[in-house]
Amino acid sequence: MNENSDKTKEMEPSLSWRLFWRELWRLLSPDHRLINYILAITVLGAVFDLAKPYILKILIDNLYNFQSIDLSFLLWLIVLYLGSGQVRSLIQYFNDRAILKLLVKIEYHLGLKAQDKLLNLSLGYHERENTGAKIVKIERGVDRISTLINNISWEVAPTLVQLAFTIPALFWADWRIGISFLIFTPLFIFVTYWSNQKMYPVRKEIYKSYETASGKMAQSIININAVQSFVQEEREFNEFSDIKAGIRDNENKQWGWMMKIGLGRNIIVDIGRAAVLFLGVYFVYHGEISVGTLIFAFTLSEMAYSSIYRLSRFYDRMEEGRAGVNRLLTLFNAESEVKNEEGAIIPEKIEGKIEFKDVSFQYREAKVMALDRVSFKISAGTTVALVGPSGGGKTTVARLLYRHYDPTSGKVMVDDKDIKSFDFNAYRRFLAIVPQEVEIFDVSVRDNIAYANPAASLAEIEAAARIANAEEFILKLDKGYDTLVGERGIKLSGGQRQRLGIARAILARPKILIFDEATSNLDSQSESLIQEALGRIGRHRTVIIIAHRLSTIKKADKIIVLENGKVAEQGSHLELSQVAGGLYAKLLKLQNLGEISE
């Protein structure tokens, strides 16, 4: 994982418990009504949980005075005992149905929310974060939230409600036995809280390591060609193994500690239970309470101690999953670096006139400016080339024009309007780009071309392919336009992927078309075909060509030379090639001599 990703993770805040629950409740806002329904049923169920032991108390007390009681009354108590159990079962049925419905809904809308969030975060976020780490952050976060809600619905909420009824009932049965419960409970709670707080840093490191491991695996598989070509399989395996070993050691440390704490909590609970039994027997022996009251109080104390023990186990699991949920909540709360202004304009059309006005830009954590007070104009419908040494700022210009980033200072203008005033989704529909590495999806050729315009007909797709000089190779594929191209277009050559990218851009019908070094890695024949396609699609639209091969941009209406984030010179090929000592003339001479790569 890259350094920036590590730094980003280190800066992720740990939410306080108050903020944690508030954010979680907000996250579950679509399900508030269902959650309240479940809580109401849970309260009703807790009432019937107390009914059965109380009926048993009355029954035992009356059996103790068997000669003075009507047998029919005892039979009615038995029927009432049975009836309360059946009503409780019916309540539990409706409760379980509601909980299952809630869990399904949560998994559904959390998955959609995560996908929507990732798709709408700015490009800067995705360039800093490792793909594998993002995926495992979502998967583990959603899983932990589902588990958390599962535990709350089936264990915590019923247990809390039961405890809220049980403790007052225990004091009502005998206040002295109730006090004994209050003596041991605070000690139990303190041990549970202290032990989990001690483990939180370890758990946080475990989740961070899970993301690192996922990122490492994803990078190894994505770059499998390089891994195998340079015989680095063993190195990749060893590095991944080291990360997993760290996770294993921390997991062992965590669960070893919690098992020891579990022994201590068991001792506290067992002593508390023994104290209740001792006090109850003592009071019965001295005639202060009845046998029925003893059984009732002991049953209530068992329910109470079992409740706090279940709550402590839940708290353990909640603390274990808290770090994962925190990281997902942090993702959901991440702000996009590029936002629409209030009342953003939805442009109906764009002519393609472009102007950079004193634009400066610096990437996050970069030490130098990518662009430094850059100014230039591009007339609508013209072809302009951006050239210069690597790192000069050419691709940054394209990113700012696309509004993947906003300038640090200055303005990017299109048709005399600051592009910040446009709704960026509506604005981007007037742009298309063919990057150096065209992103190809693991779908058919047809679907890849139509990605920018899913409603396009087959005839329109074929026309775009012909203009891009792509149909010639498409028809030779096994299933033509229906051929699956493999992940990242692995079944296609570099030139074929570029021509699919050009066809995709054509089908978008852009008014501004950007070629970001689209021919830099191609052979002469592929480059010739793409150059021919460029000549056909450049009419009636503004075309920006970012290139290292100066031979490919001689026919451009204007050439802008960028160096160290500044405009070094601009003009036509003829004008710039005749500037003595000019950077363009120098680059042209070096390429003609073969001293730098075309």
Provide the whole-model pTM.
0.65
Most confident of 1-5, 283-287, 491-495, 562-566: 562-566
**91 falls within a domain:** yes
Whether the per-residue pLDDT at 539 is higher than 60: the answer is yes
**2 falls within a domain:** no
Give 78-127 pLDDT, tens digit per residue. 888 888 878 888 888 888 888 888 888 887 888 788 778 777 777 777 76
Whether the per-residue pLDDT at 234 is higher than 60: the answer is yes
Give 122-147 pLDDT, tens digit per residue. 777 776 766 666 777 777 777 777 77
Tokens of residue 348, six digits: 């109906």
State the pLDDT at residue 247: 84
**339 falls within a domain:** no
Domain of 183 in residue numbering reads as 16-332
Beta strand 354-361 pairing with 409-414:
antiparallel
State the pLDDT at residue 520: 58
Query: Is 26 in the same domain as 46?
Result: yes
Most confident of 46-50, 274-278, 303-307, 572-576: 572-576
Query: Is 121 in the same domain as 216?
Result: yes
Q: How many domains does the chain have?
A: 3
Q: Which residues contact 574 (CB under 8 A, 6 or more apart)?
A: none
Q: How far apart are CA 396 and CA 375, in angstroms?
A: 14
Of residues 332 and 591, which shows the higher confidence score?
332
Tokens of residue 201, six digits: 């840093």
282, 465, 494, 539 from 480: Cα distances, Å: 90, 12, 18, 29
**480 falls within a domain:** yes
Beta strand 431-434 pairing with 512-516:
parallel
Query: Is 144 in the same domain as 198?
Result: yes
State the pLDDT at residue 374: 92
Query: Is 461 in the same domain as 574?
Result: no
Query: Is 30 in the same domain as 91?
Result: yes
Q: How far apart are CA 378 and CA 383, in angstroms?
A: 8
- Residues 448 and 441: beta-carbon distance below 8 Å: yes
State the pLDDT at residue 337: 80
State the pLDDT at residue 412: 94
- Quick count: other Cβ atoms within 10 Å of Cβ 367? 6
Domain final residue pick, 283, 305, 332? 332
Give 357-385 pLDDT, tens digit per residue. 999 999 887 888 899 999 999 999 898 99
- Quick count: other Cβ atoms within 10 Å of Cβ 118? 17
Give 407-461 pLDDT, tens digit per residue. 999 999 999 999 999 998 889 889 888 887 888 888 888 998 888 888 889 998 9
Beta strand 566-571 pairing with 558-563:
antiparallel
The CATH number given to whatever domain includes residue 554 is 3.40.50.300
What b/e string do you get for 383-412 counting C-beta neighbours within 10 Å, with b at 16 or more?
bbbbbbeeebbbbbbbbbbbbbbbbeebeb
Of 530, 441, 444, nearest to 480 (Cα)?
444
Give 310-326 pLDDT, tens digit per residue. 777 777 677 666 666 77
Query: Is 321 in the same domain as 215?
Result: yes
Q: How far apart are CA 178 and CA 515, in angstroms?
A: 78
Domain final residue pick, 299, 332, 365? 332
State the pLDDT at residue 6: 43
Gap between the terminal Cα atoms of the chain: 32
Dihedral in degrees, nearest 10, Cα atoms 332, 333, 339, 343: 100
Query: Is 534 in the same domain as 498?
Result: no
